[in-house]
A and B are shown apart, each in its own frame.
Chain A
Amino acid sequence: QVQLVQSGAEVKKPGASVKVSCKASGYTFIDYYIHWVRQAPGQGLEWLGWISPNNGATIYEQKFQGRVTMSRDTSISTAYMELSKLRSDDTAIYYCARSRVGTGYNNDYWGQGTLVTVSS
């Protein structure tokens, strides 16, 4: 069965970086985009961007340009999201989710979420 399993919770200081992993199983990794979505406390869902595991192409939400880097390792079917220059308002649950390649597809499987806490 399809699974996306994320790395564990992180606590970081302001200005630091965090790297969250998302290991895929149960499907062909390169056939689906991996998206990253976050939810800050008391807030809604916010899309950060996606990566194509096939060729490494990325699209980032402009708000995160310069701070976010999405990457993948196809040999272990794992995607990564690194967020740098962390601020307190980056405290959130970060989710990975897959979608079919192309425009207009939904996120049908999600990881369990990774809590990132930014605190001095």
Chain B
Amino acid sequence: DIQMTQSPSSLSASVGDRVTITCRASQSIATYLNWYQHKPGKAPQVLIYHSSTLQSGAPSRFSGSVSGPDFTLTISSLQPEDFATYYCQQTYRTPITFGQGTRLDIK
């Protein structure tokens, strides 16, 4: 199975901050990496797919990139509604696997 290692596991930040979350796969996944936002009591929502493509309807402050083995989700300027848990997901090969999540809290 492909293991996804996400960091950090938690993060405290303030409104307006720039935030980055990283995910690394245990083997090559090409660019088949997606990012989801998950809020309590709601279903996850895809923000970025294929590493760097912004999902229709997702705010433009979210962006994704890849450098070598590392995939990064960046929020350029945190908004109050962005405090949530974020997950990476590889869909290169089954079983599909998620990172362990990054909980983003208000500082």
Residue in A47, A105, A110, A111 whose beta carbon sits within 8 Å of that of B97 in the complex = A47
Write the nearest CB–CB distance from A113 to chain B, whole angstroms: 6
Closest-by-CB residue of B relative to A44 is: B101
A47 to B55, CA, bound (A): 21
Interface size class of B (residues with CB under 8 A): 20 to 34
Determine if B94 and A110 form an interchain contact, defined as CB atoms under 8 angstroms apart: no
* B96: Cβ under 8 A from any A Cβ: yes
Choose the segment among B11-19, B44-52, B73-81 that binds chain A (4+ C-beta atoms closer than 8 Å).
Answer: B44-52
* B38: Cβ under 8 A from any A Cβ: yes
Determine if B32 and A104 form an interchain contact, defined as CB atoms under 8 angstroms apart: yes
Determine if B46 and A104 form an interchain contact, defined as CB atoms under 8 angstroms apart: no
Closest-by-CB residue of A relative to B94 is: A59
* Chain A residues with CB below 8 A from B100, complex form: 44
Interface size class of A (residues with CB under 8 A): 20 to 34
> Quick one: CB contact mask for A42-61 with B, threshold 8 Å, 1 for yes?
00111101100000000101
Q: Would you call the interface of chain B mostly helix, strand, loop, or mixed?
A: loop
Residues A106 and B91 in contact in the complex (CB < 8 Å), given A95-B44, A111-B43: yes
Write the nearest CB–CB distance from B87 to chain A, whole angstroms: 6
Determine if A106 and B46 form an interchain contact, defined as CB atoms under 8 angstroms apart: yes
Within 8 A of B (CB), among A102-119: 103-108, 110-113
* B34: Cβ under 8 A from any A Cβ: yes
Residue in B38, B92, B98 whose beta carbon sits within 8 Å of that of A104 in the complex = B92
* Chain B residues with CB below 8 A from A72, complex form: none
Determine if B92 and A45 form an interchain contact, defined as CB atoms under 8 angstroms apart: no
Shortest beta-carbon contacts, A-B, top 3: A110-B43, A106-B49, A106-B34
B interface, CB within 8 angstroms of A = 30, 32, 34, 36, 38, 43-46, 49-50, 55, 87, 89, 91-101
A-B contacts, 19 listed (Cβ < 8 Å) = A44-B87, A45-B38, A45-B44, A45-B98, A47-B95, A47-B97, A50-B94, A59-B95, A95-B44, A97-B44, A103-B92, A104-B32, A104-B91, A105-B91, A106-B34, A106-B89, A108-B46, A111-B43, A113-B43
